[in-house]
């Protein structure tokens, strides 16, 4: 194996997957993905590697520009006001990644010198200790560490529970349809290579499609994310009063499982380059798939939340005034380099072929009639 190849595969992690298959037989793709991404100490997200940002494998909106956190801060302040400007406003972020979003929301609120900053109690729910350490360091570097605390699970809260590109990173079952029958993908090992075989689907997968009321097209491959639905249902139940914000890649079920979508939405990312091979670069590449917003929305509604609306991230940010960052410098302002960098970042955030196509779903409990700026013309 060349030096380059050695750096693009975690051999210990690969062996852990092989050992599991040799001990139990073929495993579901969901189990394979869970090990590859979240194996304690070895997984892609748990191994301590730098995976986010320009120097990592993929860029999320907070890494693209602090402007994203500032725009979201505007919406959160409006939500706080809709609740009557309470003395304490919980901002619960699940899966905070590098901590950039927490930093940027808090830094924006602090700069405004508005009472909203004093009301914020920022709570980060993070399963990865290496990521939690980076989040603490990032907030501490900005003097914001005393505004946040870390928990293992979403707490009972009044304010907002938000997730940004969390659900699409959860392990998924992969399925196909043969002769009108649902079949599930299982991962095999032949002594040299990983392979796939089709088996009867798990009961949770069967129930999932029964609730959706459709199947993928004949011969189509697709992904199913019951974990996302369960997480949303449980997290939504923790919201006593306030808002529930889901920001992620995805579609409504009829579009996600449309007959013309033959290959599903599973993608891998390594050094900013996409791939469709989940068996390459094990432990060194991200794996993600689009979520079913129909099922996610219904899960929160079953927990008692009301859906206020869903828009693209591009529309959400434009509604909140991100266009202001595109305005040319004023007279006497010579920092053109900063202006063009900000303009490039804003363009990236609202690009309808990129980050701009992310969906923003807003739901709520106990807020009455409320009109949110981010959802204008939803």
DSSP labels, 164-215:
ES-GGGS--EEEEEETTEEEEEEEEE-SS-EEEEEEPPPHHHHHHHHHHT--
Q: Which two tokens stand for residue 61?
A: 């909106």
Give the C-alpha distances (Å, rounded to integers) separating 134 from 51, 66, 106, 109, 138: 12, 17, 16, 21, 6
95: left (phi over 0), alpha (psi -120 to 50) or beta: left
**pLDDT tens digit sequence for 210-261:** 999 999 999 999 999 999 999 999 999 999 999 999 999 999 999 999 999 9
Give the number of other Cβ atoms within 10 Å of residue 327's Cβ: 10
For domain 3-371, give the CATH number. 3.40.50.12710
Residue with tokens 């892609």: 44
Q: Which residues of the chain have pLDDT under 70?
A: 1-7, 51-57, 326, 328-335
CB-based contacts of 307, cutoff 8 Å, min separation 6: 297, 300, 301, 361, 362, 363
Axis crossing angle, helix 11-24 with helix 29-38, rounded to the nearest 10: 150
The pLDDT of residue 5 is 39
Tell me the helix, strand and coil percentages in the chain, rounded to 5. 40, 25, 35
Which residues does residue 148 pair with via DSSP β-bridges, in sequence order? 122
Would the CA dihedral through 11, 14, 18, 20 be positive or negative?
positive
**DSSP of 116-136:** HHHHEEEEEE-S-HHHHHHHH
The pLDDT of residue 9 is 75
The pLDDT of residue 155 is 97
Q: How many CA atoms lie within 13 A of 58 on its CB side?
A: 20
The pLDDT of residue 106 is 98
Look at strands 148-151 and 306-312 and give their pairing: unpaired
């Amino acid at each position: 194996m060349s030096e380059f190849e050695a750096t693009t595969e975690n051999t210990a992690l690969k062996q852990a997957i092989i050992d599991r298959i040799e001990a139990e037989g073929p495993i579901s793709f969901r189990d394979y993905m869970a090990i590859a991404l979240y194996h304690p100490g070895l997984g892609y997200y748990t191994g301590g590697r730098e995976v986010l940002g320009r120097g990592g494998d993929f860029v999320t909106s907070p890494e693209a520009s602090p402007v994203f956190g500032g725009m979201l801060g505007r919406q959160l302040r409006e939500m706080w006001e809709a609740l009557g400007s309470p003395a304490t406003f919980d901002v619960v972020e699940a899966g905070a990644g590098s901590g950039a979003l927490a930093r940027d929301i808090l830094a924006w609120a602090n700069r405004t010198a508005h009472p909203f900053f004093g009301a914020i109690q920022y709570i980060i729910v993070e399963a990865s200790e290496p990521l939690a350490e980076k989040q603490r360091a990032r907030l501490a570097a900005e003097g914001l560490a005393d505004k946040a605390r870390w928990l293992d699970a979403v707490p009972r809260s009044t304010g907002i529970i938000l997730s940004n590109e969390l659900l699409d990173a959860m392990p998924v079952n992969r399925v196909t349809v043969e002769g009108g029958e649902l079949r599930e993908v299982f991962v095999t090992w032949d002594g040299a290579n990983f392979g796939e075989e089709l088996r009867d689907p798990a009961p949770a997968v069967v129930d999932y499609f029964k609730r959706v009321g459709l199947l993928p097209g004949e011969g189509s491959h697709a992904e199913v994310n019951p974990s996302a639905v369960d997480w949303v249902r449980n997290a939504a139940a923790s919201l006593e009063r306030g808002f529930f914000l889901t920001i992620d890649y995805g579609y409504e079920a009829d579009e996600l499982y449309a007959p013309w979508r033959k290959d599903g939405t599973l993608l891998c990312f390594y050094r900013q380059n996409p791939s469709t091979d989940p068996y390459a670069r094990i432990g060194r590449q991200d794996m993600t798939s689009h979520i079913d917003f129909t099922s996610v929305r219904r899960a929160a509604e079953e927990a008692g939340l009301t859906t206020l609306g869903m828009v693209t991230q591009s529309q959400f940010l434009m509604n909140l005034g991100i266009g202001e960052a595109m305005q040319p410098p004023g007279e006497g302002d010579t920092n053109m380099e900063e202006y063009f960098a900000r303009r490039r970042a804003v363009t990236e955030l609202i690009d309808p072929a990129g980050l701009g196509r992310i969906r923003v779903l807003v739901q709520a409990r106990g807020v009455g009639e409320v009109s949110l700026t981010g959802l204008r013309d939803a």
